[in-house]
Structure 1
Amino acid sequence: MPTAPVSFLPALQQCLMSYSNHSSPLSFILTGIPGLEDVQFWIAFPFCTMYFMAVLGNTTVLLAIWMDPSLHLPMFYFLSMLAAIDLVLTTSTMPKLLSIFWFHSHEINFEGCVAQMFFIHSFSIAESGVLLTMAFDRYLAICKPLHYSAILTGPTTAKLGLVAVGRGTAIIIPLSFMVASLSYCGPHVIDHSYCEHMSVVKLACGDTRPNCIYGITVATIVVGSDSVLIVVSYRLILREVLGLSSREARLKSFCTCGSHIAVILLFYTPGLFSFYTDRWGQSIPAHLRILVADLYLLVPPMLDPLIYGMSTKQIRELVLSLLRQKGIPSRS
């Protein structure tokens, strides 16, 4: 099972050290959700519950795939990649967010802020890439079943996963250099729950147009190209499925693809809303924009294991068998 490369860590560290003499602040202040400060303590409880469910669900999926040799197939390898990425996304933000809501721990040092921003944006791009590879996997399984095992071999699956993660890393490392090179001479208060790129850039003095142009260009190209290729894949899949003579085969294909489409919409819709409203949606209340941005990194990781993992027969049966071994009654 492929894992995320760690070569970006020295590069990121070098990025931060190379600009240590720049006029960067020692720390930033994260406000949380502007306008909802009085109720953040109570908001933290459902957030904590969702975070716990996300960690439990994605860890369960990873363990189920690792323990069952029958699940050592490309489809489930891609699913394990998605689960691992979701764990990184939630864990890079939720512990700090909960400490802000419950313990008023608003301060985050500059290096930690840049690192958090790096993980959020690079692994969001990686998740988009994994969703694209999963669409490709479904296309081969349904439209080219005779060539499926020959094309998606173990090494090819690993390379696709590494490319998805490597693309996110390669794109966001320059952005990290650009953020670290800016001078921050104004208030060091970030009107956000975490270190989102544009929220940090807004605090810089000087010319920030390269950051804005790079961020918007990357988001538009990555999301645009990935979503177009996913739509093309599913158009070909739909045409193939409608041509199947067996009603049972059509229903099975629709169920499998329906789960994937639900995950795609769950990932892209709030992500695009958060990205573009943060730049041009100033008429939308700040607390609503920040709340959607927080949920974007929490709700998909929480629901992905339920939509994908629990709708997969092999994973569902393995989880139920584990529950029975623990003496926990379950309903099939």
Structure 2
Amino acid sequence: MDVEANQAKQITNDNSNDCAKVNSNSTIDDSIPHSSLSVDTALPFPLMSPRIIELCKDLFRKWAKLDDSCFSVETVSGGITNLLLKVSVKEESGDNVAVTVRLYGPNTEYVIDRERELQAIKYLSAAGFGAKLLGVFGNGMVQSFINARTLTPLDMRKPKLAAEIANQLRRFHQVEIPGPKEPQLWVDMFKFFEKACALRFEDPDKQRIYETISFKEVHEEATQLKELTELFSASVVFAHNDLLSGNLMLNDEQDKLYIIDFEYGSYNYRGYDIGNHFNEYAGYECDYSLYQKKILRIFTLRQIHSG
């Protein structure tokens, strides 16, 4: 068992008797601690840090009586939708442990199904993916800390890493998550389309640009794509749907790759997950010259044909 997994096991075991119970239909195990506390993501870091410490004490019994000086809070790079924080704790035993606190971004509940995410974490974690879920609170979750660095778009182009990402994604696609198995691509696309049609901007320049969009044409193209897709027997799997560099981590010393953050995960076309990943090669600046057909061939062979 690696260090991160052992720390996560110790933290959850020490809280097993004090966890808030949830009903039998819950997507979360009864053993996962719950807190009603929330943390305002708009707070400046010096004011947010004490609130994070208070939250950790509320969630984890063994830390409840520790002095605040035993805690260290720092921001972690990689989050786009969420704010990520690393909390390091010096326990009474003298052991040093670390967890990741993930604060949901404002209004993300409109685009992310948090119940679906928590259910996915339960099964994907059991299959060896991502960080272990340690606790849930009003506007976020606490997970085990992964000692690794976030990849960059340039990292993803390296043949060795591309092959490992393909291997991991193939295993990811084999995990069975309970629930409807229809592709969510079209459901989500047309849901966002309806919301986009109803937008209004106070800024007149933005409103003028918005009014140049032909939503009728966009709807027709999306409908045509849906009809074309239905002509193929495309494989439907539980897909990550957001496999950009920020959701891939690498421990350079152990040469170990991690796929993380499953908040956009759903059943979807396998080809969509692969295509979306390669779209992310362009990075945040959308430099599509970074896309490489050679890497796509390596990736596809590993993803589809590996045993």
TM-score, normalised to structure 1, is 0.22
Compare relative contact order (CA 8 Å, sep 6+) and give the higher one, 1 or 2: 1
Higher normalized helix content (fraction of residues): 1
